Structure 1
Amino acid sequence: MKKLSKILTALVAIFAIVALTACGAKKEDAKDGTKTYVVGVASDQQKEVWEKVGESLKADNIKIKVKLFSGYTEENPALADGSLDLNSFQHVAYLENYNKENNKDLTYIGFTLISPFGLYSDKIKEPKELKNGDTVAIPNDVTNGGRALQALAALDIITLKKDAPDSPTVKDIDKKNVDIKIEEIQADQLVSVLPDVTAAFINTNYVTDQMHTTPKESAIYIDTDHLDKVSDLYKNVIAVRKEDKNKADFKKILKAYQTPEIAKMIEATNDYPAWDDAK
């Protein structure tokens, strides 16, 4: 028993030292004044953009740590559970749908960019070549899939119902003017299935990261070439938890993002800056 008592005493002492050390570290952080915020992104290009944003925030004693994700499914849960402080990968429609499906109240502090959404094909050179029996792959999430369906409607390949929502699903198709088969595929898998379908709508970050090309170089149709047909729902945002929306540091972060320098970086990645005074 004496030996056990000594062991327990030693463990308590160790835990006390660890606790004191941790407290000391926190005091150092508070004394230094620098606050670190983790932002989640879904492309190498946005990682570079956010690293540049971080450089401009050093004078405000704000440090940005960028975490790169390989898809779209993890960033919002990570933001909701506190693993991230902000994320920057999604448009308004995607965020709203996530909140609806998961009973969350994530929100956003400002716009970042609008990304071209293109139709790609190894088999045809323009959309009007689509014929009965061809297969068009679209993202299987309701927001990007909805944007693809809106593009097909703009091309008069399908007609949507009059009461179709802003992010329609295949159930909202009134008729197919060309009798194509629409195949819903996970967004990050669309590049790999492209050889097996007639054409596919693919998000730009996967085009640049996986296909090593750009919409302007390779797409047979780009919806942002017809901006009047693209809803503001598809503007990308900086998302945060609801309780952090008016946080002073986050206002500084948004201001550091919405600058002419960042606008040029966005344009260099074939996207378009989405805030009002970007031009």
Structure 2
Amino acid sequence: MKKKIIAAIVAIAASIGLAACGSTSSSSERKYVVGVTSDQQKDIWEYVGKQVAKEGITIDVKLFSGYTEENPALVDGSLDLNSFQHVAFLNNFNAENKADLTYIGYTIISPFGLYSDKIKNYKDLKDGDTIAIPNDVTNGGRALQLLDAIGVIKLKADAPDSPTTKDIEKYIKKVKIEQLQADQIAPALQDVTAATINTNYVTDQLHTTPRKSAIYIDTDHIAKVSSIYKNVIAVRKADKNKEDFKKILKAYQTNAVAKMIKETNDIPAW
């Protein structure tokens, strides 16, 4: 009888040991979800995923249609990383949401262009015209800096890095500035005189490129573009020094990825 009891105890202990081993394996799974907002970035991240797979890291790329969900998803753990925003956008999100997201490195700086179905040259803008810009502070701020650069408005000397319409000192051309959600501007292009449109929506919604269709591109005058508009790989602050993320960043910041970026009309930012 004693031998049977001892054997049963040993069997139970063995099963617990096996279960514990299984649990350890599951908790150490090196799989990470990254959020992006364009098919082109999805292709790049899938390439990066193939490179880090050699080191036992799995990347699952999730495509979003706008700019509002990716950071909350990163905060709540639905995403492990995201790659869609520049520093200014990230800083603004943190300030408005009392969040502490950060970034592990730069990815691209995307051209930001002015587009029109009605005029061929930005110099043809005149009093009474309507110009659509993004309604979020950071992309809207970049749009206002663009309009300042081409002489449509004049921003105040002490305007912040991400100005708002309150920071306009003077309308050199008495235009109407209409603020729309970023992903709604391309579909509304025919309803306005001109519009500033983020490049991912130019490629995905208008099926063209800044070089082919923009009447002004701010990165052609890079000295007038603030470095806060460099895009980044964002993570939770607690994960900033994660070894796997260092490997992912290294796999992204390569000559091969730089070549892919240039083919998408963006500029490598590292």
Shift of 1:60: 1.3
Alpha-carbon distance between aligned partners in 2 of 1:180 and 1:25, rounded to the nearest angstrom: 65
Is 1:64 matched with 2:59?
yes
Q: 1:190 aligns with which of 174, 185, 189?
A: 185
Check conservation: 1:34, 1:61, Cα contact below 8 A: no
For the aligned residues, what is the CA RMSD? 1.6
Q: TM-score, normalised by structure 1?
A: 0.88
Q: 1:262 aligns with which of 246, 257, 262?
A: 257
Shift of 1:27: 4.3
| Equivalent position SS for 1:184 | strand
**Within-5 A mapping of 1:116-265:** 116-265=111-260
Partner of 2:96: 101
Check conservation: 1:151, 1:223, Cα contact below 8 A: yes
| Equivalent position SS for 2:162 | coil
Alpha-carbon distance between aligned partners in 1 of 2:194 and 2:19, rounded to the nearest angstrom: 55
Aligned length: 254
Structure 1: 5+ residue runs without aligned partners?
1-20
Check conservation: 1:87, 1:238, Cα contact below 8 A: yes
Alpha-carbon distance between aligned partners in 1 of 2:40 and 2:23, rounded to the nearest angstrom: 33
Shift of 1:29: 3.8
Amino acid at match of 1:46: Q
Identity of aligned residues (%): 70
Alpha-carbon distance between aligned partners in 2 of 1:25 and 1:264, rounded to the nearest angstrom: 42
* Cα displacement string for residues 171-194 of structure 1 (whole angstroms, at most 9, x for unaligned residues): 000000000000000000001110
Amino acid at match of 1:137: A
Shift of 1:34: 4.9
Shift of 1:58: 1.3
Partner of 2:105: 110
Alpha-carbon distance between aligned partners in 2 of 1:223 and 1:274, rounded to the nearest angstrom: 15
Shift of 1:123: 0.3
Partner of 2:12: none
Amino acid at match of 1:198: T
Alpha-carbon distance between aligned partners in 1 of 2:124 and 2:134, rounded to the nearest angstrom: 21
Partner of 1:7: none
Alpha-carbon distance between aligned partners in 2 of 1:151 and 1:190, rounded to the nearest angstrom: 16
After TM superposition, which residue ranges in structure 1, 4 or more long, deviate above 3 angstroms?
21-30
Alpha-carbon distance between aligned partners in 2 of 1:162 and 1:88, rounded to the nearest angstrom: 32
| Equivalent position SS for 2:131 | strand
Check conservation: 1:118, 1:204, Cα contact below 8 A: yes
* Cα displacement string for residues 61-86 of structure 1 (whole angstroms, at most 9, x for unaligned residues): 10000000000000000000010000
* Cα displacement string for residues 30-79 of structure 1 (whole angstroms, at most 9, x for unaligned residues): 6xx65100000001110000000000001211000000000000000000
| Equivalent position SS for 1:193 | helix
